[in-house]
Amino acid sequence: MSNPKGVAENMLWGGRFTEGIDPLMMQYNMSLPFDRVMWKQDIAGSIAFARANMNNGILTAHEFSEIERGFAAIAQEWSTNTFEAKENDEDIHTANERRLSEIIGKEIGGKLHTGRSRNEQVATDMRLWLRDELRILDSHLCDLIKVSVARAEKEIEIIMPGYTHLQKAQPVRWSHWMLSHATAFASELQRLREVIARVNRSPLGCGALAGNPFQIDRHAMAKELGFDDLLYNSMNTVGDRDFAMETMQWGSSFMLKISRWAEDLIIYSSLEFGFVRLSDAYSTGSSLMPQKKNADSLELLRGKSGRAFGQMAGLMCTIKGLPTTYNKDLQESIEPLLDHIKTVSDSIQIATGVLSTLTTIPEKMSAALAPEMLATEIADYLVRQGVPFREGHHISGRVVALAENTGIPMDKLSMEQLKAVDARFGDDVQTCLDYERAVELKDAVGGTSKRAVLEQTAVLKKLL
């Protein structure tokens, strides 16, 4: 008797089903449109599994050789974009196995899946794909940090206002600002490498949930596929998506930091500040106002951080109520993960492009420096005269108030005016009112002196 249209023919689970599948359900269930990107990983995992089954006697050497030959042909089709998907190819695993049987015959092709479940197979494919993608992200992130370090060393002479509460606070080097973000990115690089280590563990050989009955050598398969370790509980392994969730948590943390970096540069590139000018390659204009140059690249970086956060939260909501081991809900981990990786990868590369091509405008930064930013220098001067800091802070505040009340910039106040505030001011107090001196005095580790800045670049270079 022929099967009705839409029946589960050729599907890995189809033997138990005799009725047709609703066409919408077929589409709803299908993941091949997005998990096809893992074709290379699926083939590698299948070959490793087949080799292990040859070594334990399930397959003969000839059968394994035929499976290898078939997969070489399939890999060629995928790489040349000539692979033809069929109606019942619901996912990359089904598609590859169906095509294998077409090439080498069902008698041998049908033995490939012996002892293996798609539950372990999809987890293996995802981990292999993700490991490779995260290593690419590592490279991109290193590039962003390298650009930050290179510019910091090249533009170390530039001094700008440092801000707290978006109010002018103390003078700093432009390099120090760049390295403040590069240091945050370096922390994310370290976290990324920790994530990669946890991703790179093998699920292969765990079966559907209870393990493998043919004494398969899981260590040998893991070594062949480049995994660092095994996952040791089969039930946990097939239902675990911590590796995807943690990747998205990492990606969200990074995007949060790149969003703050972008926000600073959006502000600094505005006409009101004018500290930097973005390259035309990373800007757009207005459809109405011809004078506009918009920092769209930076605004998109800021906006896409919300996209990343949403993907992370969505996956966590999907997972949170699932019963033990595999449930079909877990298919919802793949699509957001693919988009998350692309979003983060593109964002790092865009940020690197922005930073490597933007123009600094030192005279604008210098013009934005204000004498009241040196108020702490006056307090520190008094400390060196033996005045308790709290008292010195109060006296310095009175100097600032005097400048405001008289309309005279703090660095233009006369010695008579300063001594009227406090008689302990010496003639040398006016040497405090120098921006270069102020930044050079901050020479402790982590400060904004030239030596301290170059020490930071050395630390980052060592990490890279």
Do strands 167-173 and 159-164 pair parallel, antiparallel, or not at all (unpaired)? antiparallel
Q: Of the residues 85, 109, 133, which one is the last residue of a structural domain?
A: 109
Q: Of the residues 109, 130, 159, which one is the last residue of a structural domain?
A: 109
Q: Which residue has the tokens 């590859």?
A: 96
Torsion sign over Cα 159, 163, 166, 168: negative
165, 252, 270, 279: which is the annotated catalytic residue?
A: 165
Section 280-309 average pLDDT = 85
Give residue-wise pLDDT tens across range 97-141.
999 999 999 999 999 999 999 999 999 999 999 999 999 999 999
Question: What is the extent of the structural domain holding 209?
Answer: 118-367
Find the DSSP H helices in 269-329. Answer: 296-319
Q: Of the residues 45, 79, 109, which one is the last residue of a structural domain?
A: 109
Residue 161's nearest CA partner among 176, 181, 151 is 176
Residues 220 and 201 in one domain: yes
181 burial (CB, 10 Å; 0-12 / 13-18 / 19+) is buried
- We report the CATH number of the domain holding residue 421 as 1.10.40.30
- As given in the structure block, the two tokens for residue 258 are 């790149």
CA distances from 328 to 124, 203, 318, 325, 462 (A): 16, 18, 11, 10, 45
Is residue 176 among the annotated active site residues?
no
286, 305, 333, 396: which is the annotated catalytic residue?
A: 286
Contacts of 169 (CB under 8 A, 6+ apart): 161, 162, 163, 373
Give residue-wise pLDDT tens across range 256-265.
999 999 999 9
Q: List % helix, strand, coil for the chain (3-state, nearest 5).
A: 65, 5, 30
- pTM for the whole structure: 0.90
Q: State the chain's mean pLDDT as an integer.
A: 93
pLDDT band at 95 (very low <50, low <70, confident <90, very high): very high
Torsion sign over Cα 246, 251, 253, 254: positive
- We report the CATH number of the domain holding residue 297 as 1.20.200.10
369 burial (CB, 10 Å; 0-12 / 13-18 / 19+) is middle
Contacts of 291 (CB under 8 A, 6+ apart): none
Is residue 286 among the annotated active site residues?
yes
